[in-house]
């Protein structure tokens, strides 16, 4: 296990040294990196995990999302030492799981399905540290207002749907589509900040103001 010795000015103004593990963000998502930066946490290393994201037959969205975060962490556990954080975000319309659309046609179909409809956004976080896996699952319910065909076409043309579960990004133009939300905004963007900060703090990783 590689641990980094670093001063923690928040707890040791006298200059004491504390052990904190190397922190690896197991994600290619720029949003997840930005969300961590928002709470003053910078990974020592970024390692994207490449796994098969196909849901199993009849797999329930909560099980699926948890499995994805867990498998990303497991895939990286052999590649790096320290605390490895992975996450997965899925959108569920009823029992249907909407992942990242493969093309504009699928994105269009997802947006038509979600237009004017209540749906769920699930984000699972998995932290692998010292041979153990610590997990959290956060569920957010969202209702998009009804979208006109022109709005959907404009959004498709913007390209913002690419790489986003459910084919929309709440943090961009689609913010104007959201009529109502109950849950965690940061979880919808990719990482529930309250739960993630708690998991990381237990592993000795805290935000700094540097
Ligand atoms: C619903 C929604 C999803 N998303 C994003 C978050 C995730 O990055 C993405 C879902 O794909 P994920 O498979 O969760 O993540 P990823 O492929 O982007 O990155 P990695 O697996 O390497 O960590 O959708 C938004 O950015 N805004 C939104 O409003």
Q: Is residue 142 part of a domain?
A: yes
Band of residue 209 on the pLDDT scale cut at 50, 70, 90: confident
Which residue is listed with tokens 């900060």?
A: 197
For the chain, how many structural domains are there in total? 1
Would you name the residues annotated as active-site residues? Answer: 88
Segments forming the whole domain that contains residue 139: 3-202
CB neighbourhood size of 62 (10 A): 15
Q: Is residue 209 part of a domain?
A: no
Cβ contact 203:137 at 8 Å: no
Q: Is residue 208 part of a domain?
A: no
Q: Using CA atoms, how far apart are residues 78 and 27, in angstroms rounded to an integer?
A: 15
Q: Is residue 163 part of a domain?
A: yes
Q: Using CA atoms, how far apart are residues 164 and 107, in angstroms rounded to an integer?
A: 9
Q: Give the CA radius of gyration of the chain.
A: 18
Give residue 5's pLDDT.
Answer: 42
Residues whose beta carbon lies within 6 Å of some atom of ligand 1: 27-29, 31-32, 48, 72, 87-89, 91, 100, 121, 163-166, 168-171, 188-190
CATH of the domain at 105: 3.90.950.10
Band of residue 18 on the pLDDT scale cut at 50, 70, 90: low
Contacts of 9 (CB under 8 A, 6+ apart): 208, 209
- Span 25-75, pLDDT tens digits: 999 999 999 999 999 999 999 999 999 999 999 999 999 999 999 999 999
What percentage of residues in the chain have a pLDDT greater than 70? 91
Atom of ligand 1 nearest to the CA of 53: 13
Q: Is residue 210 part of a domain?
A: no
Q: Work out the mean pLDDT of the chain and round it to a whole number.
A: 92
Closest to 56 measured CA to CA, from 69, 42, 68: 68
This model of the complex carries an ipTM of: 0.96
By CB neighbour count within 10 A (0-12 exposed, 13-18 middle, 19+ buried), where does 69 fall? Answer: buried
Give residue 80's pLDDT.
Answer: 86
Q: Is residue 207 part of a domain?
A: no
Q: Which two tokens stand for residue 196?
A: 């993630």
Give residue 12's pLDDT.
Answer: 40
- Span 102-144, pLDDT tens digits: 999 999 999 999 999 999 999 999 999 999 999 999 999 999 9
């Amino acid at each position: 296990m590689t641990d980094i010795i670093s001063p923690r000015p928040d707890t040791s103004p006298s200059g004491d040294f504390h052990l904190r593990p190397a922190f690896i963000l197991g994600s290619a998502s720029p949003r997840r990196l930005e969300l961590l930066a928002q709470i003053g946490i910078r990974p020592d290393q970024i390692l994207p995990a490449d796994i098969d994201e196909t849901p199993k037959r009849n797999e329930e969205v909560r099980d699926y999302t948890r499995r994805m975060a867990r498998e990303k962490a497991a895939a990286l556990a052999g590649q790096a030492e320290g605390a490895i954080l992975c996450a997965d975000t899925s959108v569920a319309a009823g029992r249907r799981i909407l992942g990242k659309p493969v093309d504009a046609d699928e994105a269009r179909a997802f947006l038509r399905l979600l237009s004017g409809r209540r749906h769920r956004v699930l984000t699972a976080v998995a932290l692998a540290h010292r041979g153990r896996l610590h997990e959290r699952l956060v569920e957010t319910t969202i209702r998009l207002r009804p979208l006109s065909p022109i709005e959907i076409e404009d959004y498709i043309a913007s390209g913002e749907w690419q790489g986003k579960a459910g084919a929309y990004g709440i943090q961009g133009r689609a913010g104007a589509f959201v009529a109502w939300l109950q849950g965690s905004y940061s979880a919808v963007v990719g990482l529930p900040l309250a739960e993630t900060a708690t998991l990381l703090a237990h592993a000795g990783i805290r935000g700094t103001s540097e």
